[in-house]
């Protein structure tokens, strides 16, 4: 009786075992591939707010005043350089435009922006029938990807048998999750380094020490009332 079939089976088992011995993979997707394909980078990018022209003497409405106040807070927190207001010209509404600009100045001042931080520039109106807002812009440090998502550089079907046999993720895999993570970060510097440790809660610490001296459990006990199933569903 020949032992060649048994040897072939053992060789195949060793080969499969070698494939499964990788500790840095989940399935066949490397843990570092996603970050390498779609790295989150920091860069100075413009942040803008469009304030639409109101009628002369009306000032900003409540919605636009709140938008400008929030924009001023963002500028104070992460703004780099000056704040620019691009004002439309050539619409025949110079008085309304001037009044809106002055209302913007007052809203920025109420938001804590120094008066000298705003510089005014003009731009010609391309279509008088369309709304031409005053655009506020400042540069800020922002997190994002160096490329756009949705780029399918390889066939997702079965035409490339080498790619199918390799069982590797497609290039676009993980791009949207990385872009969403970058957009949700309030302070992009948090992606580079951690923040300094805050001040300790002395009251909580002394309470814990007091419980230890009394032989009690210093951990926080949260009371949670779990209703019975028949009460929650209205059963009888």
State the Cα–Cα distance between residues 52 and 96, nearest whole angstrom: 10
> Any idea which residue has 């109101």 for tokens?
54
Tokens coding 236: 């009888």
Q: CA angle, corner 78, sides to 76 and 81, nearest 5?
A: 80
Number of domains making up the chain = 1
Please, what is the end-to-end C-alpha distance for the chain in angstroms? 72
pLDDT the model gives residue 231: 60
Confidence (pTM): 0.58
- Residue 2 has which token pair? 């020949």
Is residue 187 one of the residues assigned to a domain? Answer: no
pLDDT for position 137: 96
Q: CA angle at residue 146 from 143 to 152, to 5 degrees?
A: 125
pLDDT score of 95: 87
Instruction: Give the model's pLDDT for residue 41.
Output: 92
Residue 67: exposed, middle, or buried by beta-carbon count in 10 A (0-12, 13-18, 19+)?
Answer: middle
Q: Is residue 56 part of a domain?
A: yes
Q: At what angle do helices 62-78 and 94-110 cross, to 10 degrees?
A: 50
Q: Could you tell me which residues come within 8 angstroms of residue 37 by beta carbon, excluding any fewer than 6 positions away? A: 171, 173, 174, 175
What CATH number does the domain containing 78 carry? 3.30.1330.60
Tell me whether strands 134-144 and 79-89 are parallel, antiparallel or unpaired.
Answer: antiparallel
- Domain range for 69: 45-141
Of 9, 19, 86, give the one whose Cα is nearest residue 53.
Answer: 86
In a domain, 66, yes or no: yes
Strands 41-51 and 134-144 turn out to be: antiparallel
Q: What is the pLDDT of residue 114?
A: 87
Q: Which residues of 91-128 are buried (b: 16+ CB within 10 A; e: fewer)?
A: eebeebbebbbebbbebbeebebeeebbeeeeeeeeee
Predicted pLDDT of residue 235: 53
Nearest to 43 by CA among 93, 91, 80, 11: 80
User: Residue 74 falls within a domain, yes or no?
Assistant: yes
What is the model's pLDDT at position 230? 63
**From the first residue on, what is the mean pLDDT of each consecutive set of 10 residues in the chain (236 residues)?**
45 43 42 78 92 82 93 90 91 84 92 89 87 93 92 74 75 90 89 86 90 88 69 56
Asked whether residue 128 is assigned to any structural domain, the reply reads: yes
Torsion-angle region of 108 (φ positive above 0: left; ψ -120 to 50: alpha; else: beta):
alpha
pLDDT at 85: 95
């Amino acid at each position: 009786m020949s032992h060649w079939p048994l040897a072939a089976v053992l060789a195949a088992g060793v080969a499969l075992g070698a494939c499964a011995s990788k500790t840095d993979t989940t399935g066949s997707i490397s843990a570092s591939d996603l970050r390498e394909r779609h790295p989150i980078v920091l860069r100075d990018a413009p942040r803008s707010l469009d304030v639409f022209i109101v009628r002369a003497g009306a000032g900003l409405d409540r919605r636009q005043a709140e938008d400008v106040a929030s924009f001023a807070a963002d500028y104070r927190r992460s703004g780099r350089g000056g704040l620019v207001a691009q004002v439309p010209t050539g619409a025949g509404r110079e008085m309304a435009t001037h009044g809106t600009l002055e209302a913007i100045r007052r809203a920025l001042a109420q938001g804590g922006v120094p008066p000298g931080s705003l510089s005014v520039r003009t731009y010609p109106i391309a279509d008088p029938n369309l709304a031409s807002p005053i655009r506020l812009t400042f540069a800020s440090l922002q997190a994002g990807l160096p490329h756009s998502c949705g780029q399918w550089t390889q066939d997702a079907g079965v035409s490339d048998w080498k790619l199918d046999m390799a069982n590797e993720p497609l290039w676009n895999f993980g791009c949207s999750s990385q872009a969403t993570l970058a957009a949700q970060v309030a302070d992009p510097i948090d992606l580079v380094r951690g923040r300094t440790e805050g001040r300790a809660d002395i009251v909580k610490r002394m309470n814990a020490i007091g419980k230890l001296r009394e032989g009690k459990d210093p951990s926080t006990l949260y009371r949670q009332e779990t209703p019975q199933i028949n009460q929650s569903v209205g059963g009888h």
